[in-house]
Chains A and B, each alone.
Chain A
Amino acid sequence: MSGERDLASALVAEIEKTAAGIGRPVRIMEVCGTHTVELRRQGIHSLLPRGIALVSGPGCPVCVTPAGYVDNALTLAESGHAIIASFGDMLKVPGATGRTLSSLSAAGRARLVYSPTELIGMARAAGAPVVFLAVGFETTIPTIMSALLEAEKQEIRNLYLYTAFKTVPAALRFLLANPEHGIDGFLLPGHVSVVIGADAYEFLEGPGGRPGVITGFEALDMLLGILLVLRQIGRGTHRVENAYPRAVRPGGNSLARQMIETMLEPTDETWRGLGVIPGAALGLRPARADRDAAKVFSLPAAADAEAPGCICARVVAGMATPPQCPLFGARCTPDDPVGPCMVSSEGTCAAYFRYGDGT
């Protein structure tokens, strides 16, 4: 037996003891899509005692982007006014009509990038306007903004951002304000916290708050995070704990935070499944309106819509699990997805489908 397995067994034993002490079912939300995938990939669900439910949260950026955003991008690409550039997952998300941007990739109207740094060369070579689908949380935003700064430095004028940036603390505030979600505690996202810092979650400690533990992504990190949340539930406290101190500092990464604050401002945009959360999205500040694809190309507000039968909206809100969806595994698979939670490599449905439910 490996040392890691011994440590895991010891943590699981503590988790069982603590859960027994609580004596009621507990719902812990992993906010981050990477946690959703890693928890299942490591088989952690299969090790937890009955009564502890891990609920996936709204932390998969592709999943919380509404279908109307894809439709706007499709319309723009087909108009011939701009080439769409995007990370891979977004190209495969169906819009309200079921069509995807990847259907335009053969014609070169929708192009895949692995890193925002590729945008500079792509814009220079294309000559025509290139619109990047700027989707992501605080982890992704600084790299995209760096690419934009580089484009400005090199005086590349034909690169635009269609922003659908979201912020994690705002989503957590929304969940706290809607207690019908029944969440007893949060595993807070490690990578986002590297940027925003542990102090960004202070509101969780206020009235109506919940325990939150900043958690890393190794199996032992995640077991420890779950144990610390349970201990707080048992004690009846709701504090923010940093169980990922090897990467996360109280103030986060000041350079990245500064970049976000100077270039972007809070906006009100639709989250799939959650509706409009005031101030929970980030858009370009007016000084960069000439880089803002929504303004330059007069794109309408992105409407929220679901394919018939798809329950992604309830899944991202933590109100349903994938097996409760009639399409799951039958009409909707990673090879032919209906909703974004099956498209994204961080999506809850994809994680359930690939790794099973631990039995």
Chain B
Amino acid sequence: MKEGALIRLEHGSGGALSRDLVESVIHPFFRSAAYPELTDASPVETGSDFLMTTDGYVVDPPFFPGGNIGALSVWGTCNDLAVCGAKPICISLALVLEEGFAVADLRKVLESAASAAREADTRIVTGDTKVVPRGKGGGIFITTAGIGRRMCSAPLSPSRIQEGDSVIISAPIGAHGLTVLAARESLPVADALRSDMAFLYPPVSLLFPLAESLRFLRDATRGGVAAVLNEAVHGAAWGIRMEESEIPVSDEVRTVADLLGLNPLEVANEGVFVAVVGARSEAAALRALQAHPLGRSARCVGHVTAGNAGTVLMTTKIGGTRRVDFPRGLLLPRIC
């Protein structure tokens, strides 16, 4: 990053600039031989089966169709553990409240968090509360940490992806980001959209029996599926080729995204994950996912290919080819 650089909103969008900030500014301070990769969750010590994760939530507005910041913060943290192959055990919850935030709203958020934790069979075991002056916060911010136990025998990592592997998207994309945007901007489309916010350990764990054939999992939050796929092949000797017509998108999301000039592949999800599996396990993976309500629309959207190292290419609906890049610029700030 350049001398005199300032943090921009784009640094939080989950796209290319977010990656650059983490790689060039943050990670160098904490990188170690024991923890060389940037992952959503890591073992609490080398070789441990207990994994730890943390996440911050600044979604604006905190209440949106389909949920609120309370359940979002609990499930988001549980999902980070799930895609690293771990079952959530317990989480912490720290509140940063802005002077003037309604206690009744706080109760609603906490009720939603408690109920989400029950559904995820996990507990909120510790927490913290801070208050900042009016105008210095966003109403309510939540930071969580989570601990989980490894349940997946295979190490899940982009480095295990091989040429020929199948790329699966678990559910229709784009609903969460567009819902929050529509709620924030009071767009008259809000009725048609609901956040896809969900606890993903149950469908994710259905893939664990694939063992070594399960290469890589990632929930497609900020930056959407486009960011996850580009991360997966970043710096690799292979790339991904996908079919636009196979991407699961609801008519509502497609229409609203078109109107706003947004690409659903770049929009944040809270109930969608990407799985890369060995080609021979593709059918088994789809069968397992489609048997679960959160994976009913799961699709294989493409494969890992040679000849386009480090890039994601897409066959468009008319049969043309184009690149799917890391999301760039100001996408949708404060979406989670």
Contact = CB atoms under 8 A, between A and B. Distances in A.
B115 interface: no
Given A2-B245, A354-B323, A354-B325, A335 B318 contact: no
B320 A358 contact: yes
A44 interface: yes
Nearest to A112: B330
- Give the bracket for the number of chain B residues in contact with chain A: 20 to 34
A336 to B, nearest CB: 8
A358 B318 contact: no
B315 A43 contact: yes
A155 interface: no
Contacts of B16: 333, 335
A221 to B, nearest CB: 11
A223 B315 CA distance: 16
B10 interface: yes
Contact of B320 (A45, A335, A345): A45
Interface in B17-35: 17, 20
B322 interface: yes
Contacts of A42: 316-318, 320, 322
Chain A CB within 10 Å — which of B10, B20, B319 has the most?
B319
B235 to A, nearest CB: 16
Contacts of A327: none
Contacts of A219: 316-318, 320
Interface in B287-336: 311, 313-323, 325, 328-330
B328 A8 contact: no
B329 A335 contact: yes
A216 B41 CA distance: 47
A333 B10 CA distance: 14
B17 A335 contact: yes
A42 B318 CA distance: 7
A9 B322 CA distance: 17
A97 interface: no
Given A2-B245, A335-B10, A355 B322 contact: yes
Contacts of B319: 5, 8-9, 12, 43, 47
A125 B325 CA distance: 40
Nearest to B311: A356
Contacts of B329: 334-335
Contacts of A334: 328-329
A285 interface: no
A324 interface: no
A178 interface: no
Contacts of A353: 325
Interface in A331-359: 333-335, 345, 353-356, 358-359
B325 to A, nearest CB: 5
B33 to A, nearest CB: 31
Interface of B: 10, 16-17, 20, 245, 261, 311, 313-323, 325, 328-330
Instruction: List 3 A-B pairs, minimum CB-CB distance, nearest first.
Output: A43-B320, A356-B323, A8-B318
